[in-house]
Structure formats: structure tokens, C-alpha cells
Structure 1
Amino acid sequence: MIAATKFFRVDDLWVQVYNSEAEMAQDVAQIAQEYLQNILERQQTAAVLLATGNSQLKFLDALIALGGIDWSQVILFHLDEYLGITADHAASFRCYMREKVEKRVSPQQFHYIEGDALQPVAECDRYTKLLQAQPIDLCCLGVGENGHLAFNDPEVANFQDPYSVKLVKLDTANRQQQVNTGHFPNLDSVPQYAFTVTLPLICSAKKILCLAPEKRKSQVVKEILQGSISTKYPASILRQQSQATLFLDTNSASLL
């Protein structure tokens, strides 16, 4: 197993720093693999909540390559989806998950948020019932450049959210990030609204693995770890989650 170069704790949150994103992804994959193996030794199924985004690519590839997980016992969910976008749209999170995960591992079930549902509020209710049908054993996610988790941007994040899934308006920083990372050609093409799993649901997961590599995340990582716990940087809520670990590379940890 690849060892982190630094370990430390900020409030209840464990933080691990690696020499490179590749080393980070490989170690997190090993942690996730061993955790899921242990879960499946004790129970018949495991429920896992996954994220999209560039921070997840190397990790998902490494996890799948490791093998050793009986994916037929795993029920998968994802964190968010754009409103009004079809499942075959190149930027759809359903498309991402289908191509990068489901087709490669054949889970027992992959429950998708139907972004183009004709009744979006009813879709929130449907997905909420699916998520609440069992505890979430593992949540793997990243941090947005504005500090969001899933699509819980600062203006819509709520640490005591009464909802498990909701519709939100995306802020400009979030939408611009989608352009900068190549998911859309320009700002106007990025949907203004999206479905998101909320912060209390994320924090209910028994284990949380949060990956935040790259230099462009260095400022928000500094704010999350050294600022106050506030919806100004929604990911700061992880500092109250003893079951969570934040994984960084030397680039994203450079301002600490």
C-alpha cells in the first residue's frame, strides 16, 4: 500500500497528503476496496454513493482495477445530475457513471437520478425513498472550487437540510468550473439548475472518502481546513464527521 506523506486531524476530520494524485488515488482505492470487502463479509449488500468529476477518475479506475469486490452485492447511487439533461448527453452524470462504472463492474443495481424527468419534484421524492431504503455504507466524493459537496453550492447549502434530495440553482462559479474542466463548451450551455443529494444525507454515510487533488483546489482546501465551519465553504462540514477522511496531493495541500 502507498503511504501518505502527512497525516493530521482538523477537528474530527482526518487529512492525508500524498506526493501525487496518482499515489493518492491508488491508496484511496485500496482503502475503499478493503472497507467494502469487510462490509460484505458482515452483510449481504453494500450501498455506495459515488461522485463524478475529474477528481474521481483515477480513483475509480484504480478501484475497479484492484478487483476483489463482489459488485453483484453492491447497490450504487450518485450524488447529483443536471435538470433537463438526457442520459445520453456527454456531460450527463448518468452517462459518466454508466460508462466509467456500471458497464465495467455490473453492480446489483445502479439507481440513477433521472435528470430529464417530467416531474422533477416527484423525482426528488423517488430518489429520496431509494436512498433511505438502506443505510449508505460508503460515500466517495470530491470538493468543488467553490467548496461545494455534490451541488450544494454556498448559497443553497444547509447543514440542517430537511430534504435528502432537492433541486437547486447552480452558482456562476460552479457552472464556470464545468466549462473549465471541459464538460461544456461555454457558460451558456451549462444548465442553471440541478438535482443534488443534500449535506445531511452525505454526512449520514458510515464512511466518507473525499478526494481533492490539483493546484486549483489549493485555496478552497485552505479555507475548508483553516476557516470557520460555515456554508460559505460547504465542505467544511466534514470537519464534524469523524467517519470522514480528506485526501490531498502536494498541489492541493500547498497553501496549508
Structure 2
Amino acid sequence: MKTLQKDLLKVRVFKTREDLGKDAAEHVANAINELLKTEDYINMIFAAAPSQNDFFEHIVQKDVDWTRINAFHMDEYVGLEEDAPQGFGNFLKDKIFSKVRFKTVNYINGQAKDLQEECKRYEDLLMQFPPHIVCMGIGENTHIAFNDPHVADFKDSKLVKVVDLDEACRTQQVNDGCFVKIEKVPEYALTLTVPALIKGEKIFCMVPGKTKANAVKLTLTEEIKQIYPSTILRSHKDAILFIDEDSSSLLNL
């Protein structure tokens, strides 16, 4: 395992994605238990993506009092069937929300008739329960949540908004095996904004895999600017990026 730092962002590099997931779970569990020494409960935001699978596999086995944690997720497609396996709420229910007993689980409703009202509802929840810990990934186009480069706003006045998804983002969903072809990928989604994510006291970002190599390189080498949304992580006071041999392959380590 190697470590490095870019601006404020700490980076941990592992040989395999399993090693990455195991180490990330250890860090997150330690952070939870430390916070629960002084807080009655904490609030956590989770990302729904195959890149998080190894982390989920290990975190649910940790000795953590989940009954003192309010769970949130960071984005959801608009218009999928309620039981669609590609739905991010359904993905998280399968991987973690049904495996441990949270204090509350707060889903974004992608089937809401009034999307602006749904954004406001979820934004109110996030204001009432500001995040202590954010567990996230980075997209192939450097998006965080569904903040693709063309809609990312580092000074967004909103915490949740409706966005259109760019072609690179929708193609990634096919590459990840979530949809059989791009025509099946929804064009719109609800997402937590960049400021909503950065409000997290601690951020743990898990990014394994060869398809993420260019995104990792851009995250660590480009200027911190909205065209590369993930670069904002380098300005956060307590964030760790976990990468593996594949996703770090374009870096000079």
C-alpha cells in the first residue's frame, strides 16, 4: 500500500479492489465509532455504484451501532419503475440498507410527480440532519453524485436538484453493467449538489478499476475547477481517496 497527498486530499493506493474495500471499511468504521463517542446519532450519505461493492461487503461486518445512524443516498434516476434493480435506492437497499439496522433510511423518490417538491423535501432532511460522513465514488467523467461537468456548481445555492445526464455519464452506466444499452439509461436524475456533499465532516471516496484511471488522474492533476467536479475533494479538510492498481495506473507513482 502506498500513500500520497494532493493539496488537502489524502490518497491511499492498494494492489486490489478488495484490499481497497477492506481498508476503506476499516477507516469508515473507525470514524463512525469515534463520532459516536460524542454524538447521540450521526448522519451518513452513501453512493450507489458497483465501485462501492467491496466497501459495502466489508463495512456491514464491522462492529458499529447502526441504530444510531441516519442513512441517506446521494442521487436517483428520474422515472424508473419503483422496483427497478438499477434504481439507486434499490441498489443500496440490497447492498447495505437491508443488511444492518439503521436508525432511519431516507430514500430519494425518483418517481415523484413533482420533482421540485421532492428536491425540497430531501433538502429539508439534509438541513435537519447534516452529514457527518459521506461515502462516495467518482464517475468516469469525474462526476460526483450526478454532478456531471456541465451541471456541477461548486457554489450551488441548492442542496438537491434535477439534472440532465451527459453521454459519458450514461455510457458509464452501460459499462458498469447496470443497463444493456445507453437508450435504456434515464436522461434525468435527482442529485445532491457539490456543496451538499462537501458539507460532510469526513469524506471517504472509493474509486477502483481500470475504467476510472483517467478520472483519478484528472482528479489529482488538474486545477480545482467545475469542469472536473471531483477536483473539489482536494479542498476538503478531511477527505481520503482510496484507489487501486488499476485506477492509479495513469499516475506516476
**TM-score, reference length from structure 2:** 0.97
Partner of 2:104: 109
Residues 111-169 of structure 1, C-alpha deviations (whole Å, 9 max, x = no match): 00000001100000000000110221100000000000000000000000110000000
Query: Quick check: 1:87–1:94 contact (8 Å CA) kept in 2?
Result: no
Q: 1:65 aligns to what SS in structure 2?
A: coil
Q: 2:23 aligns to what SS in structure 1?
A: helix
The answer to whether 1:167 aligns with 2:190 is no
State the superposition RMSD in angstroms.
0.9
Task: Choose the corresponding residue for 1:230, options 225, 231, 238.
Answer: 225
Partner of 1:90: 85
**Equivalent AA in structure 2 for residue 14 of structure 1:** K
Q: How many angstroms does 1:231 deviate by? A: 1.5
Q: 1:146 aligns to what SS in structure 2?
A: coil
Q: 1:91 aligns to what SS in structure 2?
A: coil
Q: Within 5 Å, which residues of 2 pair with 1:51-200?
A: 51-66=47-62, 68-200=63-195
Q: 1:104 aligns to what SS in structure 2?
A: coil
Unaligned runs of 5+ in 2: none
Task: Choose the corresponding residue for 1:36, options 32, 35, 49.
Answer: 32
**Which ranges of 4 or more aligned residues in structure 1 deviate by more than 2 Å?**
none
**Equivalent AA in structure 1 for residue 125 of structure 2:** L
Q: How many angstroms does 1:86 deviate by? A: 3.1
The answer to whether 1:50 aligns with 2:46 is yes
Q: How many angstroms does 1:184 deviate by? A: 1.1
**Equivalent AA in structure 1 for residue 150 of structure 2:** E
Q: 1:152 aligns to what SS in structure 2?
A: coil
Task: Choose the corresponding residue for 1:17, options 13, 16, 38.
Answer: 13
Task: Choose the corresponding residue for 2:236, options 233, 238, 241.
Answer: 241
Distance, in Å, in 2 between the alignment partners of 1:235 and 1:154 is 9
Distance, in Å, in 1 between the alignment partners of 2:182 and 2:51 is 21
Q: 2:113 aligns to what SS in structure 1?
A: coil
Aligned residues: 251
Distance, in Å, in 2 between the alignment partners of 1:92 and 1:217 is 22
Distance, in Å, in 1 between the alignment partners of 2:215 and 2:96 is 28
Identity of matched residues, %: 37
**TM-score, reference length from structure 1:** 0.96
Q: How many angstroms does 1:94 deviate by? A: 1.1
**Equivalent AA in structure 1 for residue 149 of structure 2:** P
